[in-house]
């Protein structure tokens, strides 16, 4: 029996696999809900048990973003209208996070819009992991617990026992993240400088740093089509790297991503399970995040520190 009597955990339709593990780690049963989709695509969701006076944690990554985000908003609204004491959105993968600023005229700032919608729906707190841009936390006027995938990924890298390795960033934008990893491991830093002709398509790439004979770990927050990562890995091997691995928190993996990874010179790609795998790939290793989120939920409920999950 759980010692958290006032907590209930519910799952969005596409995040049940994580929510079940989180609830199990907390000693809870996953909350019961009904999801009904109409023939025109509209859907309705409802709770099948009372949430009055409860701390309600709704687990829903927003991939692909639109339907999952809408379901999350509906569940938040339903919980507030059912007199939940607190409603916390647990969003391991926060969709629209790449739209964090106006990088050209007449475009939306999608991440800010999502923050506004979540708050308008009535959410009291947001728990997420490895936002594409750290400043998105400032888009909210409520508490945001921004967990780091490195808490899960770094112990695995250590377990490999690699010698003479270096950390690499797949682009200039990820240099800050890669530099934090390099400082943590006291290792060299390599930057892959890329230029794009359009979204998801790399035109040119150059490698900056000492590559010869190194076991290289490319660090990123997400991998989408895997074009950048695979091109970087191939260039690093051609430049003399002994091996190349990639670590990323979110496995978006759209288009030909699985094929690109399988056919690349990458030794291994390590992800968390913030997004479920769509197919098998011999080079992909997936690490579970449910224990970290469950521990964070417990500490938030018990008003304890969660800083252990901010490894760097």
- The active-site residue, picked from 194, 231, 265, 283, is 194
65-81 vs 110-121: helix crossing angle, rounded to 10: 20
The Cα 257–Cα 261 span in angstroms is: 6
**Strands across the sheet with 144-147, in order?**
7-11, 55-59, 86-91, 125-129, 144-147
Question: Which SS3 state, helix, strand or coil, does residue 23 take?
Answer: helix
The Cα 17–Cα 28 span in angstroms is: 15
The Cα 217–Cα 226 span in angstroms is: 15
Residue 18 neighbours by CB under 8 Å, 6+ apart: 11, 59, 61, 92, 273, 274, 289, 290, 293
Alpha helix (H) ranges present in the chain?
A: 16-25, 65-81, 110-121, 150-159, 175-185, 227-238, 257-263, 290-301
E strand or H helix at 217: strand 215-223
Nearest to 177 by CA among 244, 246, 93, 115: 246
Question: Which SS3 state, helix, strand or coil, does residue 38 take?
Answer: coil
**Spatial contact of 260 and 230, defined as CB atoms under 8 Å apart:** yes
Q: Give the distance from CA 12 to its chain's centroid.
A: 16
- To the query of whether residue 194 is one of the catalytic residues in this protein, the response is yes
Which residues are identified as catalytic? 194
């Amino acid at each position: 029996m759980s010692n958290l009597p006032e907590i209930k955990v519910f799952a969005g339709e596409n995040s049940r696999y994580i929510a079940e593990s989180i609830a199990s780690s907390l000693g809870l049963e996953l909350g019961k809900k009904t999801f009904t989709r109409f023939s025109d695509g509209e859907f309705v969701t409802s709770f099948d048990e009372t949430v009055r006076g409860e701390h309600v944690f709704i687990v829903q990554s927003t991939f692909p973003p639109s339907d999952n985000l809408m379901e999350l908003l509906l569940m938040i609204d339903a919980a507030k209208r059912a007199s939940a004491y607190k409603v916390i959105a647990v969003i391991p993968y926060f969709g629209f996070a790449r739209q964090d600023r106006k990088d050209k005229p007449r475009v939306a700032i999608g991440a800010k819009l999502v923050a506004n919608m979540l708050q308008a729906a009535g959410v009291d707190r947001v728990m997420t992991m490895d936002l594409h841009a750290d400043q998105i936390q400032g888009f909210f006027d409520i508490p945001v617990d921004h967990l780091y995938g490195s808490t899960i990924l770094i112990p695995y890298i250590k377990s490999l026992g690699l010698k003479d390795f270096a950390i690499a960033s797949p682009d200039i934008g990820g240099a800050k993240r890669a530099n934090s990893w390099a400082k943590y491991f006291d290792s060299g830093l390599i930057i892959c400088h890329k230029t794009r002709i359009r979204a998801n398509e790399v035109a040119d790439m150059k490698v900056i740093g000492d590559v010869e004979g190194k076991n290289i770990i490319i660090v990123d927050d997400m991998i989408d089509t895997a074009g950048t990562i695979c091109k970087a890995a191939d260039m690093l091997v051609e430049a003399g790297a002994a091996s190349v691995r990639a670590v990323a928190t979110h496995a978006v993996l759209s288009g030909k991503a699985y094929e690109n990874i399988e056919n690349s010179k990458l030794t291994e790609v390590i992800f968390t399970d913030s997004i479920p795998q769509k197919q098998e790939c011999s080079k992909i290793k997936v690490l579970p995040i449910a224990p970290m989120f469950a521990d964070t939920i417990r500490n938030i409920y018990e008003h304890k520190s969660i800083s252990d999950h901010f490894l760097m």
